[in-house]
Amino acid sequence: MSTQSELLSNLETLAEGLIRDRTEEDATTLVSLRKKRYSDMTSEEKILINSSMKGGYNATDLNRVAIFCNTFAEFSASLDYIIPSYTPIRTNWSENESITRVDLNSYIDAIKKIQNKWSFGGRFDIPESIVNGLTVSQANAIEEMLYKAYKNAKSILLNMPFSGLVYSGLLWDDFASERE
């Protein structure tokens, strides 16, 4: 088990790797490149298709987000701010496998649990399911929400020594539920 500072350090690195700025142009470029035979591509196009292009949402993206989510859930627990019913997501997706509906549903379920616990009222275009794919805005929203959840958690951790639990936000859910 990692220490809180190790988890935070890992999260900082993972958070910087989240892709929050995909564009329709990225997606269009990727689609057009996938229609070409590799041997017909220019050297620039080959470099693009072989890199992690921002236009798609594939196994690389699933793994990046899953590793972030699992690390974030562990970090959250280290703050005694446990994400209810969080189940770690697979982190070994591969481009050559057939991804099941159950896998995708558990993936989006974990993301929604983090959103419900850490977004503090911010709403993002997180889809109910990703079985039929994602729009560019939904793909960006998933990773933007995770990035903001990380920033919220980091802020709370850094402010805890100065403000105590109530004012740092960790007990806000309990306080708010008592007032309802």
Question: Using an 8 Å Cβ cutoff, are 156 and 169 in contact?
Answer: yes
Residue 49: predicted pLDDT:
66
Task: Report how far residue 16's alpha carbon sits from residue 92's, in angstroms, rounded to the nearest whole number.
Answer: 20
Task: State in Å, rounded, how far the first CA of the chain is from the last one.
Answer: 37
Length, in residues, of the chain: 180
Phi, psi torsion values for 174, nearest 5 degrees: -65, -45
What is the per-residue pLDDT across 53-112, written as a single tens digit (0 to 9) for each? 666 677 888 898 999 999 999 999 988 888 989 999 999 988 777 778 888 888 889 998
Tell me the pLDDT of the chain averaged across its residues: 78
Higher pLDDT, 117 or 173: 117
Cβ neighbours of 57 (radius 10 Å): 22
Average pLDDT over residues 151-166: 70
Reduce the DSSP state of residue 105 to 3 states and report it. Answer: helix
Query: Domain limits of the chain?
Result: 4-21+57-179
